[in-house]
Amino acid sequence: MRAVAALAACTALVAGCGNDTAPDRGYPELGKALGSLSRGLDEACAETDTPESCAEDLDTLAAPTERAFTQVLEHKLLDAGAVEAMDELDRARELRVTAAREARARQDPRDPALAHAVAAEKRAYQRLLTELERLRTAPPPGDGTDSVRRPRS
């Protein structure tokens, strides 16, 4: 009887001795943020939209993108691929904003340069989603509490 009680006590201790600071490997909040971003990207830029209205749709993706990136940072999942994808998105957004300003100045909501910039930004969003989903589904080795590594310049 004592052996059974001792075994039960040891099992309870071992079960309770996990690393309480380790993140949930399912990363449910990150999954929700990525789902929201994915839905927003899917709903943005309907076939009948002008590049100008599509650009406005893309502006609505800033908040879900920030939420997803915050989750990646909180779980210390950031890697060079995600940083590169975020940098690519930032560059694409800057180009799209510039193209939108120029299209407004010319009063041309169907400006081809704006259409190209919008398409490039959508591709950058898709790449970022792919990178963040990769991080969510394939967490780094270890317990997930290692420091974040930045790519070398």
pLDDT-derived band at 145, boundaries 50, 70, 90: low
Residue 68: count of CB within 10 angstroms of its CB: 27
Residue 20 has pLDDT above 90, yes or no: no
> What's this model's pTM, rounded to 2 decimal places?
0.73
- Predicted confidence at residue 48, as pLDDT, reads 73
Sign of CA dihedral 58, 59, 64, 70: positive
Taking the C-alpha atoms of residue 72 and residue 131, their distance in angstroms, rounded to an integer, is: 11
Distances in whole angstroms, Cα of residue 25 to Cα of each of 22, 81, 100: 8, 20, 41
Q: Which two tokens stand for residue 6?
A: 């001792």
- Predicted confidence at residue 13, as pLDDT, reads 38
pLDDT tens column, 29-85: 999 999 999 999 998 888 778 888 888 899 999 999 999 999 999 988 889 999 999
Please name the amino acid found at residue 127.
Answer: R
The DSSP code for 151 is: P
Please name the amino acid found at residue 37.
Answer: L
